Amino acid sequence: MRRVVLSVTAGIVLAMASAAGALAAPAERFTEPLILVSPDFELGLVLFVNTDRDTICTAEQVAFEDALLAWIEGGEVGDPPVDPGFPAGFEMVSFLVKEIGKGALVQHILGSGLPSEVWQMDPDAPGIGPCTDTDDVLTRVGTGSARFRANDNDVFGSGTRGNAFGDRGIINLVDDEGNALRYTWRFHTNSRCHLDEDQGPVCLVEGTALS
């Protein structure tokens, strides 16, 4: 589930580039075509939220993932391949950003009605990207619509406060036979978690389910 959160965070940082003026503003609302493309290694699935596999897996993206895998397997010699970047999402997602305290930037993201797909992950998926993680099985679990919410009370880690962040969402799916499915995820943690050797971060809340 951690990889889902990393994808969300990457989208947040990219979207913030268009809102640099909001750093000194009391609050700002805007929209961006954010996507979430993430593997779920626990359930063996790959999520495409606010996009689909055909849109993401261009020839350039597949070539990048193949080159990245070869680079890693070769011992990471030289520069990594250039990431072509994912295309924009199908629908707009709402952002609310506000600077508070001593420079901490709070951000809330809300998306709903987002076209989505869930694909089965290859048994030997390399974990490099969504295309090479699904290109052997090529089995679509279902298509449908997603909604999600993400919050971060210190986006850029100002260090002026404890940073709590996380996201949660639901994808209502229909498989090729017309059966209704639901995929859910939840992640929440904060920078003041203390580690337990057996349990990991004590304050960490995470989980996924497909029913």
pLDDT digits (tens, 9 = 90+) for 103-138: 788 999 999 999 999 999 999 999 999 999 999 999
Burial class (CB in 10 A: 0-12, 13-18, 19+), 109: buried
pLDDT, residue 162, reads 74
Residue with tokens 């010699």: 77
The token duo for 27 is 């609050």
Residue-wise pLDDT tens digits, 162-186: 788 899 999 999 999 999 999 999 9
Low-confidence ranges of the chain (pLDDT < 70): 1-25, 101, 195-197, 199-202
pLDDT, residue 19, reads 43
pLDDT, residue 205, reads 81
pLDDT, residue 17, reads 37
pLDDT, residue 200, reads 61
> What is the spatial distance between Cα 149 and Cα 187, in angstroms, rounded to a whole number?
11
Record the pTM: 0.83
What DSSP character marks residue 19? G
Going from N- to C-terminal start, the domains of the chain cover 2-74+85-210
pLDDT, residue 124, reads 94
Tell me if residue 176 falls in helix, strand or coil. Answer: coil
pLDDT, residue 13, reads 40
pLDDT, residue 202, reads 67
